[in-house]
């Protein structure tokens, strides 16, 4: 089973791909780099796999990151307003 969730451009020749897959009989979330070049097009070894049983913990960690923490990066989105529930309104 493979279900692509989305991709984020890394540069002109690579994307970060997020997908749910089944590897070795175990379902999980995979985040890997996909490259396009004359020599090779496909996934690289670079990436991480989150087992399904650890996904909620991973999601909690990601959701705990405030956009303000990423503001030092020139490409980081600017936080416009935060609703009382802790979600960001754009």
Does 86 map to a domain? no
- Residue 16: domain span: 2-77
Residue 71 in this model has a pLDDT that exceeds 50: yes
Does 27 map to a domain? yes
Residue 66 in this model has a pLDDT that exceeds 80: yes
Does 68 map to a domain? yes
Does 30 map to a domain? yes
- 18-47 tens-digit pLDDT: 999 998 899 999 999 999 999 999 999 989
32 compared with 80, residue with greater pLDDT: 32
Does 89 map to a domain? no
Does 83 map to a domain? no
CATH of the domain at 62: 2.30.31.10
Distance CA 19, CA 28 (A): 8
Distance CA 1, CA 29 (A): 12
Does 88 map to a domain? no
Does 19 map to a domain? yes
In three-state secondary structure terms, 34 is strand
Domain count, the chain: 1
pLDDT of residue 61: 95
Distance CA 24, CA 37 (A): 29
Distance CA 58, CA 29 (A): 10
pLDDT of residue 70: 84
CA atoms within a 13 Å half-sphere pointing along the CA-CB vector of 13: 8
pTM exceeds 0.75: no
pLDDT of residue 84: 47
Mean pLDDT confidence for 36-62: 95
């Amino acid at each position: 089973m493979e279900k692509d969730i989305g991709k984020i451009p890394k540069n002109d020749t690579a994307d970060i791909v997020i997908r749910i897959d089944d590897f070795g009989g175990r379902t999980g979330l995979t985040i890997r780099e996909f490259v396009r070049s004359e020599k090779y097009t496909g996934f690289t070894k670079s990436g991480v796999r989150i087992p399904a049983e650890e996904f909620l913990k991973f999601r909690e960690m990601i959701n705990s990151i405030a956009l303000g923490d990423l503001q030092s990066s020139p490409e980081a989105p600017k936080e416009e307003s935060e609703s009382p529930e802790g979600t960001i309104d754009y």
